[in-house]
Chains A and B, each alone.
Chain A
Amino acid sequence: MLLIHCPYCEEDRPELEFRNAGEAHIARPENIAEISDEEFAQFFFIRSNPKGLIYERWRHIHGCARFFNAVRDSVSDKFLMTYKAGEKRPAVKAGEKA
């Protein structure tokens, strides 16, 4: 079981307390009613699913209940870092602990 650092609680807590919430940094278009089918498909259906570094959302659902973002290595499962929702996508290299 992984330990996950909640950036709001500022504590490492067991994975049991968290729930994954899919890929991060996919913003809902502000003019969503006007976007094209192609743009909607990109926004709603298409995910990167990379081998290696993955930016994803987690929720500390059985804790502070906050959503936050994480950089994780999808090969080793390891978390490289976590950060608050709304913060910029950090540049992290594979194998490097931020």
Chain B
Amino acid sequence: MTAAFRTTAAGRLKGAKPVSFSFDGASYQALEGDTLASALLANGVHLMGRSFKYHRPRGVLSAGAEEPNALVGIHRDAARKTPNVRATVQEVYDGLTAVSQNRWPSLAFDVGAVNDIASPMFSAGFYYKTFMWPKAAWKSIYEPTIRASAGLGVAPDRPDPDHYASRYAHCDVLVLGGGAAGLSAALAAAETGVRVIVADEQPAVGGALRFETGSAIDGAAGWDWAQATAARLAAMDNVRVLTRTTAFGYYAQNMVGLVERVSDHLADPGHDLPRERLWQVRAKRVILATGAIERHMVFDGNDKPGVMLASAARTYLNHFGVLVGKTIGVFTASDSAYAAAIDLKQAGAAIAAIVDLRDNPAGALIDRARALGIEILSGRTVVRASGNLRVASMTVRATSGGPERTIPVDALLMSAGWTPSVHLFSQSRGKVAFDTATRRFLPGDYAQDCVSVGACNGTDTLADTVKEAIAAGEKAAKAAGAGKAAALKLKAETSESWAGGMVGAAPGAGPDTSGKAFVDFQNDVTAKDIRLAVREGMRSIEHVKRFTTNGMATDQGKTSNIHGLAIAAEALGKEMPEVGLTTFRAPYTPVTFGALIGHAKGRLFDPTRRTAFHAQEEKLGAVFEDVGQWKRAWYYPRAGEDMHAAVNRECATVRKAAGIFDASTLGKIEVVGPDAAKFMELMYTNPWEKLEPGRCRYGIMLREDGFIYDDGVVGRLAADRFHVTTTTGGAARVMNHMEDYLQTEFPHLDVWLTSISEQWAVIAVQGPKSRDIIAPLVEGIDMSDAAMPHMSVREARICGAPTRLFRMSFTGERGFEINVPADYAAAVWDAVWAQGQKHGACAYGTEAMHVLRAEKGYIIVGQDTDGTVTPQDAGLDWAVGKKKTDFVGIRGLKRPDLVAKGRKQLVGLRTKDPKVVLEEGAQIVADPKQPIPMKMLGHVTSSYWSENCGRGIALGLVAGGFERMGQTLYVPMPDKVIEVEVVGQVFFDEKGERLHG
């Protein structure tokens, strides 16, 4: 069955396959090639949504991307529910399910429409004024209620199952827009042989030729020429034609973001196709051929379903073969609407009248309309459109006032003229200039290597457009390095005219009138709201915009900005440019997060780094924690153990026998060269010149301001070679810090820096049995205390593999760190593990490592320090070379604030009740009874249950901490106050005898 409003008199879908779709549960027929909007109109359905604030019934305004009204939800399945889809953009496929939004219980009967009656309450600035107090109510009452009732669509509640592709592309000439201008420019550029990309947002190129049936190019009907040209371009090796592709953002140096809708129009996209593809195109030259957008008329009731742009009605007829009504009124100030009336009349619709604001419209189109017997009411205005869910009449009077006449209509076409689409030009940071004669903003000063052609440049006739575009295409190609010139000539003829136009409210919607004359349909902003904003003191369009929200909806004011500006300018008694045009920002139309994210989600969101021992640790049942990008073994629970039990066992085992730990994630940097020691002297607070090869030292790195930046054990392998370790998190920034100084401050030093973090895997073996475990595996060195004391390093072999064997400890026990090349790591781990089993060793994770080091008072940079802690504050003054004359931070350390009394210092905290474990981050006070807000002395930086000490242990930064030894301080918590005693940092083996034990 043919839909009731489908005509055979016009349209390009003849013979297309019929498909069916549903809207709010009702089933309809469509033709392949329809948009949801054209398909609904073909079925006589104009009511497609409810407005944002007043819940007013709305139909389509446009036939394109500028649509502010017909926003619907598209539901493919439970996980694929896309809200706020423009019905004018969504192509129909067989089985498409669409639902209306922002209505309850139904689109035709919506309870929220009471907002329309109560609308005096909801004038501009309403939100700012009404929901000010009480503050708490905003979160609990106002915001949820406002969001629920003034909503757009409902966000999907499941993860997006689709995938999105992403591509980078480079070209010589990028043409944005595939209308007559864009295609002419692309062809002119392409024929020189340069690489061209041309993108158009529609499923097929053509632009305004989609509805302008009065144009011919190169002897063919405009539309046919466009399709043939696109095919010709697509067949060229140096050209890529992208349709369904929107240029949404113009960034620095001709980087343009495009989003290609790959499969939203397909009934069954399958799993192989991405839903969308993001193109990031870098072009030598960009040609903007983005066309123009028709403006609506601002009058009372201009939002009734059935009231739409003249060019939209013409598109529905000439492209889709759909009549938007049977008795159609036209309200215009521009010639172009006459062409719509003529086409509709010839297709069999009755034209009730053309109401033209102009007193004496003249020209060929006007003559033709008159010849067809269409009544032309010039010098008149429409003061009101009436009707409930669909426009039923227009009320007309002379622009100067006087008696009214009501004319029945079932559709009302409007045209206030055309607004050049300067969005992308503006995004490129070009400055628009106001053309006083035509009262429009046109591209002025360019900021990038681009050029505008055609309607977006204010070029009104087809012949001029084509000529301008060809010249621009050739020039861009030449600038991009084209070797040859193309001599493209295209003959363009047209009976179309875009003469005329107006901006602002129509006569009859002036300051003295009541009624709702909408400027911004999507945000429900009326002419009255804009005048109110001016009355309330807004002077700049930026203020008016924010006060009224005009142009701030997702349509970015494509139809409303200029009207809003004109009304504000009139109210202010100023010229439009004095009030200013808001800057257009990306995206031009809404872009899905999916397209921007591409493949960077889930597992691919961020690289995962696994150490060379990861498989071994998994086999041992490790629970992993994320440390930056690393997966680190956190603890190794055995059957029946929770984390607490596992960590307690691991900590006890290390001190009783030994523990095996993966220390591979520590940053490692090799500092090599004749001046390596000199460089180390500058980068670390400690002295290095006299450190003997084969020995190690704990080093502290400062920033120039004197604060601790990083720390780690450094081994001197040879006079000119240091093996530096850094914290896990600091690996990259320490390397950067060193490179910075070496390249820019100390370039005279003969030193090379190499990151070796990934090359060496590290097994720490810590505990009284550590030497017994590894000695049998090590070849070629004497591991006795005399030959290899604490803090020494040897190059040897282990299990036949090369090793840098450190004797060092982060547990306070005798300990070793075996560095082996990552490729040998697994085999060495297995051997060490087998040995460990003979001596009662266990594997321990990062949690036990933290407890063991805290028992010894060893700090973790970034946990016990926070970028405002000096070595003195941390109790590490011994590591600062007092005789040194220079190192990074030497001067910072002497700053008055850094040597002042009362600085926060790192101390131990013993809870009076040994069973209590403090919370890290908890605040510390001297008197818990003082009034709130209390004077805080510091906070807890590290806190654990220590099985080895049989009590909770903690470190904290406390003001004047070193002078408070033995004092009782308090940690106020929500439910209690915890008493603590200030003690030294070391809780276990204070004399450090076990390092050698």
Contact = CB atoms under 8 A, between A and B. Distances in A.
Contacts of A86: 744, 747
A28 B895 contact: no
A37 interface: yes
Contact of B704 (A44, A76, A77): A44
Nearest to B257: A1
Contacts of A67: 739-740, 743-744
B745 A28 contact: yes
A2 B252 contact: yes
B895 A37 contact: yes
Interface in B236-289: 251-253, 255, 280, 282
A1 B255 CA distance: 6
Given A67-B739, A76-B429, A33 B253 contact: no
Given A3-B253, A76-B429, A86-B747, A40 B895 contact: yes
B736 A59 contact: yes
Contacts of B885: 33
Given A3-B253, A33-B891, A40-B891, A21 B886 contact: no
Contact of A44 (B255, B447, B892): B892
Contacts of A14: 282
A85 to B, nearest CB: 5
B736 to A, nearest CB: 7
B957 interface: no
Contacts of B744: 57, 67, 85-86
B896 interface: yes
Interface string B434-454: 000000000000010000000
Contacts of A35: 891
B743 A66 contact: yes
Contacts of B447: 76
Interface in A54-80: 57, 59, 61, 65-67, 76-78
Given A32-B886, A37-B896, A1 B251 contact: yes
B779 interface: no
B919 interface: no
A33 B890 contact: yes
Interface in B886-904: 886, 890-892, 895-896
Nearest to A2: B252
Contacts of B493: none
A21 B740 contact: yes
A27 B251 CA distance: 34
Nearest to B889: A32
B94 interface: no
Contacts, number: 52
Interface residues of A, number: 25
A2 B740 CA distance: 23
Contacts of B704: 28, 44
B705 interface: yes
Interface in B715-740: 736, 739-740
B283 to A, nearest CB: 12
A76 to B, nearest CB: 7
Nearest to A66: B743
A77 B747 contact: no
Contact of B253 (A1, A32, A59): A1
Contacts of A76: 429, 447
A38 B740 CA distance: 24
Contacts of B429: 76
A6 to B, nearest CB: 13
B284 to A, nearest CB: 11
Interface in A15-54: 15, 21, 27-28, 32-33, 35, 37, 40, 44
Given A32-B886, A33-B890, A85 B743 contact: yes
A15 B747 CA distance: 25
A75 to B, nearest CB: 10
A27 B891 CA distance: 15
Contacts of A78: 252
Contacts of B896: 37
A35 B892 CA distance: 10
Contacts of B736: 59, 61
Nearest to A67: B743
A83 to B, nearest CB: 13
Contacts of A33: 885-886, 890-891
A1 B252 contact: yes
Given A66-B743, A67-B739, A67-B740, A44 B890 contact: no
Among the interface residues A33, A37, A65, A76, which one has the most CB atoms of the partner chain B within 10 A? A33
Contacts of B747: 85-86
Contacts of B251: 1
B269 to A, nearest CB: 30
Contacts of A77: 252
Nearest to A30: B886
B258 to A, nearest CB: 14
Contacts of A32: 886, 890-891
A87 to B, nearest CB: 12
Given A33-B890, A76-B429, A76-B447, A44 B253 contact: no
Interface in B863-892: 885-886, 890-892
Contact of B705 (A1, A37, A44): A44
A85 B740 CA distance: 11
Contacts of B745: 27-28
A21 B743 CA distance: 13
A61 B732 CA distance: 11
Nearest to B886: A33
A19 B638 CA distance: 46
Given A35-B891, A40-B892, A2 B253 contact: yes
A40 B704 CA distance: 10
A57 B744 CA distance: 10
Interface in B735-777: 736, 739-740, 743-745, 747
B887 to A, nearest CB: 9
A21 B885 CA distance: 27
8 contacts: A2-B252, A33-B890, A40-B895, A44-B705, A61-B736, A77-B252, A85-B743, A86-B747
Interface of B: 251-253, 255, 280, 282, 429, 447, 704-705, 736, 739-740, 743-745, 747, 885-886, 890-892, 895-896
5 A-B pairs closest in CB distance? A67-B743, A32-B891, A2-B252, A1-B255, A28-B745
Given A28-B704, A32-B891, A67-B739, 7 more contacts: A1-B255, A27-B745, A33-B885, A44-B705, A65-B739, A85-B744, A86-B747
